[in-house]
């Protein structure tokens, strides 16, 4: 793997994207949708 090559992500590869915020070692949802997904995920 060459880390200098640009990362290419195709739309078909993205299923669900939810914004999050990192605080040191804590990850918190950034939006209400993110919060709902985090709380209802199994």
Q: Where are the chain's structural domains?
A: 11-40
Distances (CA, A) of 15 to 5, 12, 18, 26: 23, 7, 10, 24
pLDDT of residue 14: 67
Whole-number Å distance between alpha carbons of 31 and 42: 19
Question: What stretches in the chain show pLDDT beneath 70?
Answer: 1, 13-14, 42
pLDDT of residue 6: 80
């Amino acid at each position: 793997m060459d880390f200098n090559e640009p990362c290419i992500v195709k739309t078909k590869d993205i299923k669900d994207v939810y914004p999050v915020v990192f605080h040191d070692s804590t990850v918190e949802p950034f939006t209400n949708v993110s919060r709902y997904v985090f709380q209802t995920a199994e």
